[in-house]
Structure 1
Amino acid sequence: MFLNHTITALTGMTSPLFPSPLLATVEAENSPIVLTGVLLSLVIIYLASKIGAEIAKRLDFPPVLGELVAGVIVGVSALHLIIFPESGLSASDSVVMTILEWINHLSPAAATSIFESQSEVISVLAELGVIILLFEIGLESDLRQLKEVGYQATIVACVGVAVPFAAGTVGLMTLFHVPAIPAIFAGAALTATSIGITSKVLSELGQLKSKEGQIIVGAAVIDDVLGIIVLAVVASLAKTGEIDVTNVIYLIVSATAFLIGSILLGGIFNKTFERIVNQLKTRGNIVIPAFIFAYFMAFLGNAIHLEAILGAFAAGLVLDESDARNELDELVKPVADLVVPIFFVTVGARADLGVLNPTVPENRAGLSIAVFLMVVAIVGKIVTGWSVFGQPGINRLAIGVGMIPRGEVGLVFAGIGSASGVLSKPLEVSIIIMVILTTFLAPPFLRLAFGEPVEPPSTGEPAREQPVLGGESQPTP
């Protein structure tokens, strides 16, 4: 791929099979510079993610939001430190490329080739990050808890997926004349719920063990499962560029069957995994087999025309039931800490907030879309509280508000939609703004819905720690 970029840049022609020796030599000479650009980009990404996460943490916001905002600052919207060719910018717009040109005295053609190649490497690392992110989310989604929360949480989750998805998709198509596939993608982004953020606030309020808290957490877990299936379907639709009812049915059935089949066969997978782990005596005896399984499941997801992330999520759900689960959780964290921030920062870096500048008349439609998505995102989740029945005196408003924050799962939708090219810039930025605002607004709204904070109830046993993306752990029921 790097060679193809060089050929295209230098000759205007693509010749992947028979490159000339001269062009091969030029590419070989540029390879160390590509690596230099990647390393400098990673330095910027890691600095931005850590500074952003620390600031967010000190302000009592989820660290993942700090990483996203930091990405916006270093990206196309502000500093131009991390930018990508698909945004319409060139090598001369990149601060990293300006530094490389100054150090290496590059020609414009060579700079363009290097810019495209190092951007592609960062994009691949970001995609690897989202695969590991979904593997980690799968490990956090306790199947035992899913089985215990009952039908009430299932109903809340289904309403919380169906209402915002339908309202968002239909509204974008009828009110804003957005094409069907981008509208479906944006509607799907409205379905997510962040279990980590909600659990954190419920724990602080001492409501994690309450009826409302149990329903919210259980529904959020089911929401994630349903959301990943929806994401696999809409991302596959984005690849074909058209809506074929037969294909949609195939995708829904195959995604559901793939996930349920993986869970049902989990006992066999787990026994095999545990036997392998017990036989290995060198470093990485747990984490390496786990990632082999996760990557293989991701490969299978792609092979049946779904998404790699669905396979990674299924692998996490399966290994969550293994005896090595607690140790695996701890071993996956450092790996996720290395690659997941690349995904979040690049999502923010790709978002051009300039398309929502109200002083530019062409941008006002994008602002209207952002407002519309925010209204649907909030109302579409609040109504879930009124889907609970047979529970007299239950705080329905609190249940609805607890489902509002989109968090990291919403960003996965935005990131994949951006990478697929299916989202326009205004629509992509509107989704990111919706994710940011719902995540910021949910904690204070949830506190208001429950009233004054109360002391956490004593259960007589230590709470199990659940990792929350962004560097903190929360107790779960």
Structure 2
Amino acid sequence: MPIDDLLIALFLILLLSRLLGEGCQRLGWPVVVGEIAAGVILGPSLLGWLHPNQVLANIAELGIILLLFSIGTETSIKRLYHAGSQVLLVAISGIVLPMLFTGVVAYFWLQLSPFAALFYGCALTATSIGVSLRVLKDAGQQQQHSSQVVLGAAVADDIAGVVLLSLLYNFANEGSIAPLQLLKLIVTLLAFLILAPPLGRLMIYLLRFASGHAQNEGYEAVVMLTFICLFAWLADAAGAPALLGGFSAGLALSRQFTWPWRRYLQNPFSFTNKLEHAMRPLTEVLAPVFFVYVGISLDLSQLQFNASNLLLLLLIVVLAFAGKLLAGLPVQGPWRDKWLVGCAMVPRGEVGLVFAQIGQQLQIIPAEVFTGLVLVIAITTLLGPLLLKALLPHGTVAKKTPQ
């Protein structure tokens, strides 16, 4: 891709995604919807000014690595543990039910192969952490018990989604997975998830020591980007998606990070806060590129807008909703809390889009099915927060988190 084409492409992507993202935010819609819409407008669906290519795909992948890093910095495994069995029940239900409902439809009505139908169903299992938590925070409900269940279940869903993606990605590349190979891959992934954050934490202490001797400006941004790239490469070398490395790097910086040696090594809150803030501008610039690229990859002209296809799309959207809404039933308390948790689990967001994009790149998901899948993800990402806001009017006082 010539440099002049790349420059004008980035100009159009950053400008239009910002404008539409701001517009969606003013309407109370998720910003990601505006960013996808920017890609649809610029891509072959409408204007045809931009088309998928490897250079933009690489920039988009870097953007999603940084986004998963940002999510990791806000994740607490300890909070997931303390939320209790409700979190596990909600998380398992939120994975199994959407995968089963939508996978069956994809197999029988979309006529996909069993593996492609499984991949399709898995793409609709993950819950977007950022979208729902932003709605809960704006309503002043982030410290309520139901919000803690949502956070824990969303974290579990995203981790399970990344593990599923790794397994399916490996299967698609190798053609089959022998039991020993499957066991090795699972052990490798779990080992990476367990060992990478403590290793990253140790590196943070070394980086903090070195920062006292740094003479140049921008030390935090440079070392943090180097840190993220290293962990993304390690994840890829372990057979996992590179974005898992970004997530693990974020866990190492998490404010809620705990380990057995915390009594000997005091949490470097001030330094990790500097590192996190140093990466925010780069994340804000590059993360939208991924969502715009998803929109660019769409070609709505391949959809046949007839009655049967529209009904099928509506059916999949309803099933995608139902799978997450039913996941809220294990929550203890009034029905309002159950529906609140279910609605908060509805938005798919970034992990679902990663699934869809990789499925298309590996030619598991056909182009016309990919377009419909992204539409389902976009619709759930938009309507989920709107339903959640309806259940959380300002001034509502919910049950406090048990102490």
TM-score tier, shorter chain, comes to 0.7 to 0.9
CA distance in 2, matches of 1:369, 1:275: 58
Map 1:278-427 → 2, pairs under 5 A: 278-320=212-254, 321=257, 323=269, 324-359=271-306, 367=310, 370-389=313-332, 391=333, 395-427=337-369
The aligned counterpart of 1:276 is: 210
Does residue 429 (structure 1) correspond to residue 377 (structure 2)? The answer is no
1:221 Cα deviation (Å)?
A: 2.4
Map 1:257-268 → 2, pairs under 5 A: 257-268=191-202
Equivalent of residue 23 in structure 2, options 39, 55, 59 = 55
Secondary structure at 2:136 match in 1: helix
The aligned counterpart of 1:149 is: 83
1:387 Cα deviation (Å)?
A: 2.1
Contact 2:60–2:287 under 8 Å retained in 1: yes
What amino acid does structure 1 have at the position aligned with 2:143? K
Contact 1:192–1:223 under 8 Å retained in 2: yes
1:236 Cα deviation (Å)?
A: 2.5
Does residue 454 (structure 1) correspond to residue 395 (structure 2)? The answer is yes
CA distance in 2, matches of 1:445, 1:254: 39
Secondary structure at 1:286 match in 2: helix
Contact 1:215–1:399 under 8 Å retained in 2: yes
Distance change >3 Å, CA 173–CA 276, structure 1 → 2: farther
**Relative to structure 2, which stretch is displaced further, 64-73 or 226-235?**
226-235
Unmatched 5+ stretches in structure 2: 258-267
What amino acid does structure 1 have at the position aligned with 2:360? S
Bigger relative contact order (CA 8 A; separation at least 6): 2
Give the TM-score normalised by structure 2: 0.87
The aligned counterpart of 1:231 is: 165
Secondary structure at 2:28 match in 1: coil
1:296 Cα deviation (Å)?
A: 1.2
Residue deviations 1:176-205, cap 9 Å, x none? 331133222211211111222212222343
The aligned counterpart of 1:172 is: 106
CA distance in 2, matches of 1:209, 1:217: 10
Contact 1:369–1:427 under 8 Å retained in 2: no
Secondary structure at 1:313 match in 2: helix
CA distance in 2, matches of 1:395, 1:340: 32
Distance change >3 Å, CA 292–CA 79, structure 1 → 2: same
Distance change >3 Å, CA 456–CA 179, structure 1 → 2: same
Map 1:51-90 → 2, pairs under 5 A: 51-84=19-52
CA distance in 2, matches of 1:266, 1:170: 41
Secondary structure at 1:405 match in 2: coil
Give the TM-score normalised by structure 1: 0.74
1:240 Cα deviation (Å)?
A: 2.6
Unmatched 5+ stretches in structure 1: 3-33, 85-118, 460-477
Does residue 132 (structure 1) correspond to residue 100 (structure 2)? The answer is no
Rg comparison, structure with higher value: 1
Contact 1:181–1:243 under 8 Å retained in 2: no
CA distance in 2, matches of 1:392, 1:358: 41
CA distance in 2, matches of 1:350, 1:394: 39
Contact 2:189–2:238 under 8 Å retained in 1: no
Secondary structure at 1:386 match in 2: coil
Distance change >3 Å, CA 251–CA 76, structure 1 → 2: farther
Contact 1:236–1:307 under 8 Å retained in 2: no
What amino acid does structure 2 have at the position aligned with 1:269? M
CA distance in 1, matches of 2:13, 2:197: 36
Equivalent of residue 197 in structure 1, options 131, 139, 146 = 131
CA distance in 1, matches of 2:83, 2:208: 28
Residue deviations 1:253-284, cap 9 Å, x none? 32222112223545433333333334433223
What amino acid does structure 1 have at the position aligned with 2:314? V
CA distance in 1, matches of 2:176, 2:314: 27
What amino acid does structure 2 have at the position aligned with 1:431? L
CA distance in 2, matches of 1:180, 1:368: 22
What amino acid does structure 2 have at the position aligned with 1:435? I
Residue deviations 1:70-108, cap 9 Å, x none? 111110111001113xxxxxxxxxxxxxxxxxxxxxxxx
Does residue 38 (structure 1) correspond to residue 16 (structure 2)? The answer is no
Q: Work out the number of aligned pairs and report it.
A: 386
Distance change >3 Å, CA 236–CA 369, structure 1 → 2: farther
What amino acid does structure 1 have at the position aligned with 2:328? G
CA distance in 2, matches of 1:249, 1:426: 34
Secondary structure at 1:395 match in 2: helix
What amino acid does structure 2 have at the position aligned with 1:77? S
What amino acid does structure 2 have at the position aligned with 1:356? L
CA distance in 2, matches of 1:319, 1:125: 24
Residue deviations 1:278-322, cap 9 Å, x none? 443322322222222211111111112221111121111112245
Superposition RMSD in Å: 2.5
Contact 1:156–1:219 under 8 Å retained in 2: yes
Equivalent of residue 220 in structure 1, options 137, 143, 154 = 154
CA distance in 2, matches of 1:415, 1:299: 20
Distance change >3 Å, CA 245–CA 383, structure 1 → 2: farther
